[in-house]
Amino acid sequence: MMRDIGGGPRVLLRRLRELMAEPLEPQERLDRIVREIASNMVAEVCSLYVLRADSVLELYATEGLNPSAVHRAQLQIGQGLVGTIAASARALNLTDAQKHPAFAYLPETGEEIYNSFLGVPVLRAGRTLGVLTVQNRTKRNYREDELEALETTAMVIAEMIATGDLARLSRPGLDLDLSRPMSFTGLAFNEGIGLGHVVLHEPRIVVTNLFNEDSEEEVRRLESALGSLRLSIDDMLSRRDVASEGEHRAVLEAYRMFAHDQGWVRRIEEAVRNGLTAEAAVEKVQSDMRARMMHMTDPYMRERMSDFDDLANRLLRQLMGRGPEAIAESLPKDAIIVARSMGAAELLDYPRERLRGLVLEDGAITSHIVIVARAMAIPVAGQVTGAVSMSENGDAIIVDGDAGRVHLRPQADVEGAYAEKVRFRAKRQELYRELRGRPSVTRDGVAVDLMMNAGLAVDLPQLAESGAAGIGLYRTELQFMVAATFPRAEQQEELYRHVLDVARDKPVTFRTIDIGGDKVLPYFKSAKPEENPALGWRAIRLTLDRPALLRTQIRALLKAAGGRELRVMFPMVTEIGEIRQARELIDREVRHLSRFAHHLPTSLKLGAMLEVPSLMWQLDELMQAVDFVSVGSNDLFQFVMAADRGNTLLSDRFDPLSVPFLRVLRQIADAGKRAGTPVTLCGELAGRTISAMALIGLGYRSISMSPAAIGPVKAMLCELPAGELAAMLDALLGKPDGGTDMRGLLDEFARKHDIPL
Which active-site residues does the annotation give?
368, 682
Three-state secondary-structure class, residue 370: helix
Spatial contact of 381 and 401, defined as CB atoms under 8 Å apart: yes
How far is the CA of 28 from the CAs of 34, 381, 412, in angstroms? 10, 42, 34
Residues 420-425: contacts with CB within 8 Å, 24+ apart? 421/193, 422/193, 422/195, 425/192, 425/193
Minimal CA–CA distance to 640: which of 613, 669, 667? 613
Report the first-to-last Cα separation within the chain, whole angstroms: 75
DSSP assignment string, 171-217: PTT--BGGG--EEEE-EEEE--EEEEEEEE----------B-S-HHH
Sheet holding 116-124: strands in order across?
74-76, 56-63, 45-51, 127-136, 116-124, 92-94
Minimal CA–CA distance to 652: which of 743, 736, 735? 743
CA distance 344 to 373: 9
74-76/335-339 β-pairing:
unpaired
Sheet holding 380-382: strands in order across?
182-185, 405-408, 396-400, 193-200, 335-339, 355-360, 380-382, 187-190
CA distance 756 to 735: 28
Exposure class string for 568-579: b at 16+ Cβ within 10 A, else e? bbbbbbeebebb
CA distance 609 to 167: 61
Query: How many helices (DSSP H) and strands (DSSP E) are in the chain?
Result: 27, 22
Exposure class string for 140-172: b at 16+ Cβ within 10 A, else e? eebbeebeebbbebbebbbebbbeebbeebbee
